[in-house]
A and B are shown apart, each in its own frame.
Chain A
Amino acid sequence: MSRPRSQAEYLARLVPPSVAGLNRRSLLAGAAGTGALLGTGLLAGCGGADSDSGAGSKTVSLGSNASDPTPKDVLAKVTAGFQSSSGIQVAVNTVDHNTFQENINNYLQGKPDDVFTWFAGYRMRFFAAKGLAGDVSDVWGKLSGYSDAFKKASTGDDGKQYFVPMSYYPWAVFYRKSVWQQHGYQVPKTLDDLNTLGAQMKKDGLNPIAFADKDGWPAMGTFDILNLRINGYQFHVDLMAGKEAWTSDKVKKVFDTWAGLLPLHQPDALGRTWQEAAQSLQQKKSGMYLLGLFVAQQFNNDEQDDIDFFTFPEVDSTIGAKALDAPIDGYMMARKPKSEANAKKLLEYIGGVDAANITVKNDPGTLVANTGADTSGYTALKKKAAELVGSATEIAQFLDRDTRPDFASTVIIPALQQFIKNPKDIGGLLTSVENQKKSIFTS
């Protein structure tokens, strides 16, 4: 469930997997009699569109979810760079972003490409633990320019690296400079400051905090940042791994704090898409918006310089405000690549400075993970975003990348929506989450 990176991708996502893939037939039939096994079997069959153009040592295949024009173009330029430097042909197999993610289980168990796109986080470690991904520790031996936080995010449970980071984006509170100057607002340093600021914005006729959760995932960002501020990074990791109880006082405190902030949020969030909320910020109807850097897409080109952000303020002074969500995208290697040597060469190139420079030059929407890259082409906003992440003590990957996908999508999304609808019954809600968590994590 990565964030849609463009309007086109968002629209493409409106098309249910039913239409995009062939799942629906089998599923609807599943309603009337056909079942899951057939569906998965069929998908496994078509998951790995194998492009084995001769198992020669001069080719390597790359499964890509970069189906949008810009990322696709960037990847084409990166692979062209690799081809000219190494002489190895890269066969890129691009699949629609959402379809790729939905079919990942079958893809990896079928005939995956030698190298494929994925995200850092729980799922990456899960695939590594299940033996569905190849160990790339020796590639890491040759890489430079990565902070420890990125290396940690690329490491599996066994201490080996399974992932090469490429790009990332931070979650922060965005606002329009012109609006803030007009009213003389100051960046809040603590939760109390934020409350005061929100009250002032209400007086000034603004929605203090833009908010949308129709798609289910944006509210995870709010939960994450409050949890990181109140309970710290390690608790976030343990909670996501199912080791901590959702009924604990610590989690309750997160929801209580959130309930206190809800009156400052845009009402009726469950019917609104993040684009609509972002547009309310763009139209100067809302004062601020906690979202990923991709919020900038909803602004016109001449307004880009007017966007600014701050990291979510401190709630507990013993915890501080140094941790944040900054999902990392990158590449992994299949468990049995047709040519392991070529796959590793490709990963080394992708993780290197040259590939990062190509990305910076061609994709205005991402921050590259390699600090050795020439980032003089960054906009002021991107420079500041890179600084923010660089100064972070811990980087979380976002709730749905940090925990089991079944837990995130079938339990947490409905639970957060229920909370937004009725913030009063926190106890009952958390008991329900905990019961479902026990059932899912023990299975």
Chain B
Amino acid sequence: MSDLPLIQADRAVPPPAATTSTGGRGRRLRLLSRTDRVVITLMVLVPLLLVIALVWLPALATVLLSGTNWDGIGPVSEIDWVGLKNYDDVVNIYPPFVPAVQNNLLWLAALFVVATPFGMFLAVLLDKELRGSRFYQTALYLPVVLSLALIGFVWQLIYSRDQGLLNAVLGTSTDWYGDSNVNIWAVLVAAGWRHVGYIMLLYLAGLKGVDPSLREAAAVDGSSEASTFFRVVFPVMRPINIIVLVVTVIESLRAFDLVWVINKGRNGLELISALVTSNVVGEASRIGFGSALATIMLVVSLVFITLYLATVMREDRR
């Protein structure tokens, strides 16, 4: 990636010995000064420790706790080991689990098929320097900036069955949030509303970075607008496309806030993340059971992360 060789010792280029203060102390010729080594060690060590402490240990603890029935009370030594019972319970006797998995998949599909392409489309439009494009940009990006509580409230005003805007305008009495056949779609609209703005901004930034001479060359060769985009611009934007893809996957896996604000992820709005929260956080403290759910989610995330890393690494090696 980087073109700046920080440590290229093995390249057999004569080291810039003059700048390093070897001072004849070491037996071997040192490429790096003591300060450099300290700095590099710290730069590796500190993030490493942070990652271990904040990501790996808790992840490991979650996996371990998922084999227990801890309720969050009492010392760790009193935790009972129950083996795979929690997983058995999740799959066999916990009714919200299956709908949660389905909803997460639906969420992914909806963002991937509708919201993401639409956000990209808007970015392409805005890239055309329309009049007032700043205004559209702001308007479309606003949902991403708004606080979660506010978004929940805004949509409550729109979707409320008895007092909501939507039923008043349409003259219907659809129970947007309460009918479990309808509410997931209502929420997906709200989620898409946010996601479109996010993708739009990401993609717009990428489009601004595309070398204009590419487009000019395509135009000179008689390429149409559409084929210029699909044959020239889109392939050039590969890094951004990957980011957009990853953002979409991550967003749909960690989808949580909207359903939590609406009804805590119940009654048709089950999502794995909401189930984890309702079991672990708060008074319930079914930590063992919630950890089993979290572990399942971790495994699903790992599949995507592995795929992504494999792609990126293959890219780098080329």
Contacts and interface: CB of A to CB of B under 8 A. Distances in A.
Interface of A: 1, 11, 14-19, 23-24, 26-40, 101-102, 104-106, 109, 123, 130, 132, 214-216, 267-272, 276, 279-280, 405-406, 409-410, 413-415, 417-418, 421, 432, 435-436, 439-440, 443
B77 to A, nearest CB: 14
Interface stretch (B7-15, B138-146, B170-178, B307-315): B170-178
A270 B96 contact: no
Given A16-B148, A105-B283, A443-B82, A37 B94 contact: no
26 contacts: A11-B149, A16-B261, A17-B281, A27-B273, A28-B254, A29-B58, A30-B280, A33-B301, A35-B60, A35-B62, A36-B61, A36-B65, A36-B294, A38-B61, A105-B285, A130-B73, A216-B266, A268-B175, A270-B180, A271-B175, A271-B179, A409-B278, A415-B95, A439-B85, A439-B89, A440-B286
Given A36-B291, A130-B74, A31 B298 contact: yes
Given A36-B62, A405-B283, A440-B286, A421 B54 contact: no
Given A15-B261, A27-B273, A409-B283, 16 more contacts: A11-B153, A16-B261, A23-B277, A27-B277, A35-B59, A38-B57, A105-B283, A215-B263, A271-B160, A271-B176, A272-B162, A410-B284, A413-B266, A414-B96, A432-B95, A439-B85
B62 to A, nearest CB: 3
A439 B93 contact: yes
Contacts, number: 210
Given A19-B148, A102-B281, A30 B62 contact: yes
Interface residues of B, number: 75
Contact of B183 (A35, A101, A267, A271): A271
Given A269-B178, A271-B183, A272-B161, A27 B54 contact: no
Interface of A is mostly: helix
A298 to B, nearest CB: 13
Contacts of A406: 71, 279, 283-286
Interface string B37-65: 00000000000000000111111111101
Given A34-B58, A439-B89, A40 B72 contact: yes
Q: What 6 A-B pairs are tightest by C-beta distance, nearest first?
A: A271-B178, A35-B62, A270-B178, A268-B175, A37-B61, A443-B69
Nearest to B262: A214
A14 B161 contact: no
Nearest to A271: B178
A411 to B, nearest CB: 9
Interface in B72-103: 72-74, 80, 82, 85, 89, 93-96
Interface string B240-282: 0000000000100110110011011011000011001111111
Nearest to B260: A16
B286 A417 contact: no
A410 B290 CA distance: 11
Contacts of B177: 214, 270-271
A39 to B, nearest CB: 7
A33 B298 contact: yes
Nearest to A1: B283
A410 B263 contact: no
Interface string B113-148: 000000000000000000000000000000000011
Interface of B: 54-63, 65, 69, 71-74, 80, 82, 85, 89, 93-96, 147-149, 152-153, 156, 159-163, 173, 175-180, 183, 250, 253-254, 256-257, 260-261, 263-264, 266-267, 272-273, 276-288, 290-291, 294, 297-298, 301
Contact of A405 (B65, B276, B285): B285
Nearest to A34: B58
Contacts of A271: 159-161, 175-179, 183
Contacts of A123: 283
Contacts of B73: 105, 109, 130, 132
